[in-house]
Structure 1
């Protein structure tokens, strides 16, 4: 999240007026992240998040917003979009698509332990199950096709060793995607970006409870296993080295399987999907770092982190204990 589009108090006041959320009392830009413009909106009734979409189109956005609404109605703690009198949850602000959603309780847990990983794993499985009857379809827009388009754009900025690593991994993932085992993986709507800063917890230290998943604007229909892999590569690693913390990963997967047991091919292909997840975020961070957009508040992430994660997943593949 970042601020690419400046919004005044008067503009925010006019935007929320049809949404029946009260009178505006505060507006504050959110500097974290790199995709959309985001503001915290405070009214006399509560706190909300205003998002102006900088890359996603009016045609793409109904998938994300209605998915959030669908999950919220099935008891998954996600931000519920606010509708106008006509029931519309996708709005316009300064000529761009925009939405207002509930602000979740709590804060991020940036140093998770088993307790947090188990809760995220369990809720992720519940989310996958809750989304199985979601009627809309949209592919993962940051999936294999996007990697194949984007890797050539960042190659000029890489060393010879990095060039080899990313090119060979892309070829590996393209071959994997053509395999019957991969094509038969269980699939449905996934979050695809469920990092530590996209989950909220509340409560006393050591007793925190998960209060929600948010930022669904990379969601799409893809294998559930890719969602698990994204999480394992963030929640269950040493951030300095990229090495997997295996007991934390095992706790995450065990909690997930209490709601949705993994199929045999999912267990077998998990190491390859963890490589895929690392490749996806290395590629996107290279793109954002070397080909940035202007923003009033912009904090691009270090691409080298997911280069280390990818190398660690190649060197030390991991299967969940059975």
Structure 2
């Protein structure tokens, strides 16, 4: 989240009125993230205060957005705690603001747990499995726009900005992922709509209870295993301390995997390719952070993430993922 487009108070107020969300009383830009313009909006209606999030989409077009917004609406209708988009009188959930596509969604209760415990990881794992199952009958389809095709297109763009060892890692890992994607085992992976960016700051908790997943604007159809690997690479690694940054945290990883599999057990193909998907998830976010770091866009509150963290994660996954996956999947609770 960031602010690329300054939204005049009057324009935001007019949008809320059109959506029957009340009278705008406060409009605050949100700091953090890097893709879209986001504001917290507060309104008054029928004597009560209501809070929403207003998003103006900077890269996604009017042709792409229906997938994300209708997926959120679909998941909410299936009992998954996600922010439902507000519709106008005609039922449209995608809107126009300053000539750009926009949406207004409910603001979830609670806060993000940036230092998660086993309990938090269990809750995320179980809810992620429920989300995957709930998406099976979602009628729309759109590829993961930050998937393998994007990796192949983007690697040459960032390569001139890297040191030799980084270039070697990026090239070798991209070759490995292209190979994996060509195998029958990969073709057999269960797939459907995925969040694809379910980091700790995209989940809310209140009094220890998971209250919602949000920021679905990297969602797409991909393998469910990749979605799980994205979570493991953020929720079950060390953060902050340079001496251990990116290191695997086995207790947290085990908690997430066990809880996920209580809802949806992994298939044989998924079990065999967990190491590769852990590497794929590391590559995806190292690459996107390299791109944002070396080729930034102007924004009023932009704070691009340092790519070093995911370089460490990828190096660890590339050297340790197979032993890690074997250890995790041999646990009795995860036995096929």
TM over 0.5: yes
User: 1:231 maps to which residue?
Assistant: 231
- Residue 155 (structure 2) pairs with residue 151 (structure 1): yes
How far apart, in 2, do the equivalents of 1:271 and 1:242 lie?
Answer: 16
User: 1:251 maps to which residue?
Assistant: 255
- Residue 84 (structure 2) pairs with residue 77 (structure 1): no
Q: How many angstroms does 1:16 deviate by? A: 1.2
Which residue of 47, 54, 59 corresponds with 2:51? 47
How far apart, in 1, do the equivalents of 2:191 and 2:17 lie?
Answer: 39
How far apart, in 2, do the equivalents of 1:293 and 1:258 lie?
Answer: 42
Give the match's secondary structure for 2:279.
Answer: helix
How far apart, in 1, do the equivalents of 2:201 and 2:25 lie?
Answer: 26
Which residue of 286, 289, 310 corresponds with 2:314? 310
User: 2:179 maps to which residue?
Assistant: 175
User: 2:214 maps to which residue?
Assistant: 214
- Residue 292 (structure 2) pairs with residue 288 (structure 1): yes
Cα deviations across residues 88-146 of structure 1 (Å, max 9, x unaligned)?
A: 00000000000000000000100001010000000000000001000000000000000
Give the match's secondary structure for 1:50.
Answer: strand
Q: How many angstroms does 1:267 deviate by? A: 1.0
- Residue 18 (structure 2) pairs with residue 14 (structure 1): no
Q: How many angstroms does 1:291 deviate by? A: 0.3
- Residue 69 (structure 2) pairs with residue 96 (structure 1): no
Give the match's secondary structure for 1:31.
Answer: coil
Give the match's secondary structure for 2:39.
Answer: strand
How far apart, in 1, do the equivalents of 2:7 and 2:95 lie?
Answer: 15
- Residue 283 (structure 2) pairs with residue 260 (structure 1): no
How far apart, in 2, do the equivalents of 1:158 and 1:105 lie?
Answer: 41
How far apart, in 2, do the equivalents of 1:251 and 1:48 lie?
Answer: 32
How far apart, in 2, do the equivalents of 1:194 and 1:67 lie?
Answer: 15
Q: How many angstroms does 1:314 deviate by? A: 1.2
How far apart, in 2, do the equivalents of 1:14 and 1:315 lie?
Answer: 54
- Residue 68 (structure 2) pairs with residue 64 (structure 1): yes
User: 2:120 maps to which residue?
Assistant: 116
How far apart, in 2, do the equivalents of 1:250 and 1:53 lie?
Answer: 36
Q: How many angstroms does 1:316 deviate by? A: 1.2
How far apart, in 1, do the equivalents of 2:116 and 2:85 lie?
Answer: 28
How far apart, in 2, do the equivalents of 1:113 and 1:268 lie?
Answer: 27
- Residue 29 (structure 2) pairs with residue 25 (structure 1): no
Cα deviations across residues 44-71 of structure 1 (Å, max 9, x unaligned)?
A: 1410000000000100000000000000
TM (norm. structure 1) is 0.98
TM (norm. structure 2) is 0.94
User: 1:275 maps to which residue?
Assistant: 279
How far apart, in 1, do the equivalents of 2:104 and 2:37 lie?
Answer: 12
Which residue of 191, 201, 205 corresponds with 1:201? 205
Q: Which moved more, 1:11-20 or 1:275-284?
A: 11-20
Runs of 4+ in 1 over 6 A off after TM superposition: none
User: 1:165 maps to which residue?
Assistant: 169
How far apart, in 2, do the equivalents of 1:252 and 1:233 lie?
Answer: 11
Q: Which moved more, 1:106-115 or 1:15-24?
A: 15-24
Unaligned runs of 5+ in 2: none
Q: How many angstroms does 1:14 deviate by? A: 1.0
